[in-house]
Amino acid sequence: MTEVKVEMTGNQPISILIVDDEKYICNIIVEALSTEKYDIVAFSDPAKALTHIEQNSVDLVLTDLVMGEYTGVQILESTLAHHSDATVILMTAHPTVQTAISVLRKGAYDFLMKPFRLELLKATIKRGLEHQRVIRENLHLKGQVEFLKVVGAANTEMGIDDFLAMVARSCKNEMGARAVGIIEIDPMSKEPARKVYAGDEETPLDVVLDNATLDRFTYTRSAKPIIQKEEVVIDGCSQTRISISQPIFVRRCFHGVINLLIETRFDQLTPGQIDVLMLLANSAAAAIANHRHYQEMRTSYLQAIKGLANAIEARDEYTAGHTDRVTWLAELMARHMGWEDQRIEHLIMGCTLHDIGKLGVPDSILNKPGRLTDEERLKMQTHAEVGLKVIDGIELFRPAVPYIIAHHEWYDGSGYPRGLKGEGIPIEGRLLAVADTLDAILSDRPYRKGADLEQAVSELIKYKGIQFDPAIVDVLLDLLRSGSVDFRATYGRDMDISKLPAPTTTEKAPA
C-alpha cells in the first residue's frame, strides 16, 4: 500500500479529454489549450477514449458527435456514468436543433458548431469548468452541513457514544466511505477506551477498528491524516482502496483516530473533503475532552459527596457502611428492573446522597440509643428537606433529588415529608425505601444482631402496600430467589434463600 501526501488531494491539474475521429482537429485543440495548465489527453479512436474514461479520472470531455460507428452520445453517457460531475461539451459540423436539445437533455453542458473559433472554444471550456467548480463547491458545502449537524449535536445533552457515532456517520456520508471506525484511547494507558463504528458490513469493521492503526501516530504530532492507497480487484473490477487515518488530538495529546475505508473506481478525493474530515476530528476531540472533563469533575464531586456521606456515618455510630450497602442493594434491584446505565449512575449518586440532610440533625438525636420523643422525631424527619437544601443549585446533583426527598414516603400516603401516595411517589424513592429498610433489618446494631433474610423479607411483605410499593417488593423477592445476590461480600455472612416464601399469583414480574 502506498502512502499519499494530503497536499496531493484538491490540487490535481484539471484533466481534459478530447475525442474526435479527425486527428488534425484533436491536434489543433491540444495546441490551442497548451498554454493552459490542463492535463490533456486526445483520442481519434473513440473506442480507446471509452476505455480511458472507464479507467481514469476526467473533469471535462470535448467530443465530436458523429465518429463513424461511434457517436458523441456514447462518450457523453459513459463519461457521466463514471464521473457524475464531469463536464461534457459536444461538437458537430451538422447541427440540428433536435440534436442539440437531445444531448443537452442527456446531461451535456454545451454544444459547439464546427467550425468554431478557438477563442469561443476556450471561453466555453472555462465556463464549463467554472460551472463544475460551483457544483463541487456545493457538494463541499453539503459536507460542511454534516459538520454543522455534528456541532449542533455537541450543544445538546447527547452522550459521548451517541455523539461519536454521529461523527462516524457524518464522516461516512461526507467521504463516501464504506466504513468508518473511531477508536478513542486512554491517554495514560494508551489502550483503546471506546470504539464506535459506522458501516453496513462486518468485514471492514475489522479494518477500521484495528488497534494497529493507532501505531501510525506513535511518533507524530501532526494533525494531518495518513492516506494510503492500494489497487484491489472486487467482483472482477479493478478498484482503488483508500484508507484514511485521521488522528484526534486534544491539546496536542493523542486521544485516538478516525479510520475510513473508501473503495472507488477513481482514486480521487474531492476538494474540501479532507478539510471537513479534519473539522469532524476536531469536533470529536472537543467532545472527548468535554467528556473527560465532565467525568473528572463528576468524580471529584462524588468523592466530595462521599466524604460528606462518610462524615454523617462517622457521627451516626449505628449506621456504619449503611450508605454503601443501600446503594449496592438498590443498584441490584434497579438492574433487575432493567434500568439503563445512565439511570443507574443517577441511582448511585442519589443513594449516596440520600441521607445528606442528617448533617442538620444534632448528634444528641442522631445517636440517641432509646426511642425519640415526638419533637426529636420531627427534627429527625427534617433530614429529607434539609438534604434538598444542601444540594440546591448544584445542577450536577439534580438527579439525586427524588432519592433524597422521597425515600421516607409511604405507599399508603402516611410517610414524610410530603405525604405522597402510591405512584405519586417517585419510583426512585419507592425503590430506595425498600433497599434502605432491608439493610436496616439485616445490619448489626450495637444493641442487637442483624436479622436473617427470612425475617427481613417477611417484614417487607407485611408492609407491602402500606409502607412499600408491592411491585418493588416483588422485584426484590424475584431477585433474591434467583440466588444471584452475594451477601457475603457486603454483610460478611451468607443468607439462606431456601426459606423465602414461594411466589404468589399476584406478584408482578420486574417492570
Cell digits of residue 506: 399476584
CA distances from 110 to 47, 121, 252 (A): 23, 11, 50
Of 64-72, 192-200, 353-361, 475-483, the window that binds Fe ion (rule: CB under 5 A) is 353-361
Which residue number, 312 or 471, has a Cβ lying nearer to Fe ion?
312
Contact predicate 406/429, CB 8 Å? yes
| Closest residue by Cα to residue 226 from 204, 197, 257 | 257
Q: Looking only at Cα atoms, what is the longest distance across the chain?
A: 114
| 355 lies in the site for Fe ion, by CB under 5 A | yes
Q: Could you tell me the smallest distance in angstroms from the CB atom of residue 355 to Fe ion?
A: 4
Beta-carbon neighbour count of residue 455 at 10 Å? 13
Of 260-268, 300-308, 321-329, 355-363, the window that binds Fe ion (rule: CB under 5 A) is 355-363
Cα 98 → chain centroid: 53
Q: Could you tell me the smallest distance in angstroms from the CB atom of residue 300 to Fe ion?
A: 25
Of 98-106, 124-132, 266-274, 354-362, the window that binds Fe ion (rule: CB under 5 A) is 354-362
Q: Could you tell me the smallest distance in angstroms from the CB atom of residue 154 to Fe ion?
A: 39
Q: Could you tell me the smallest distance in angstroms from the CB atom of residue 408 to Fe ion?
A: 6
Cell digits of residue 453: 433474610
Strand, helix or coil for residue 270: coil
Cell digits of residue 77: 453517457
Of 252-260, 301-309, 348-356, 486-494, the window that binds Fe ion (rule: CB under 5 A) is 348-356
Of 27-35, 205-213, 334-342, 351-359, the window that binds Fe ion (rule: CB under 5 A) is 351-359
How many residues form the binding site for Fe ion (CB under 5 A)?
1
DSSP-derived letter for residue 425 is S
Contact predicate 378/416, CB 8 Å? no
- H or E segment to which residue 239 belongs: strand 237-250
* Residues 242-261 interacting with Fe ion (rule: CB under 5 A): none
Which residue number, 75 or 312, has a Cβ lying nearer to Fe ion?
312
Q: Could you tell me the smallest distance in angstroms from the CB atom of residue 432 to Fe ion?
A: 9
Alpha helices in 254-321 (DSSP H): 273-315
* Residue corresponding to grid cell 454521529: 166
Residue 124 corresponds to which amino acid? T
CA distances from 474 to 244, 332, 448, 451, 507 (A): 54, 13, 28, 20, 6
Which residue number, 261 or 456, has a Cβ lying nearer to Fe ion?
456
Which residue number, 247 or 415, has a Cβ lying nearer to Fe ion?
415
Which residue number, 267 or 355, has a Cβ lying nearer to Fe ion?
355
Residue 42 — φ and ψ, nearest 5°?
A: -125, 140
Of 114-122, 278-286, 347-355, 474-482, the window that binds Fe ion (rule: CB under 5 A) is 347-355
Q: Could you tell me the smallest distance in angstroms from the CB atom of residue 485 to Fe ion?
A: 23
Q: Could you tell me the smallest distance in angstroms from the CB atom of residue 306 to Fe ion?
A: 17
Of 81-89, 130-138, 205-213, 350-358, the window that binds Fe ion (rule: CB under 5 A) is 350-358
Q: Could you tell me the smallest distance in angstroms from the CB atom of residue 248 to Fe ion?
A: 45
Which residue number, 59 or 355, has a Cβ lying nearer to Fe ion?
355
Q: Could you tell me the smallest distance in angstroms from the CB atom of residue 348 to Fe ion?
A: 17
CA distances from 164 to 140, 148, 183, 255 (A): 21, 14, 10, 13
Cα 453 → chain centroid: 44
Cα 460 → chain centroid: 43
Which residue number, 213 or 319, has a Cβ lying nearer to Fe ion?
319
Residues in the chain: 511
Q: Could you tell me the smallest distance in angstroms from the CB atom of residue 476 to Fe ion?
A: 18
Nearest residue (beta carbon) to Fe ion: 355
Which residue number, 184 or 355, has a Cβ lying nearer to Fe ion?
355
* Residue corresponding to grid cell 468485514: 203
Which residue number, 103 or 404, has a Cβ lying nearer to Fe ion?
404
DSSP-derived letter for residue 443 is S
Which residue number, 355 or 409, has a Cβ lying nearer to Fe ion?
355
Positions that interact with Fe ion (CB under 5 A): 355
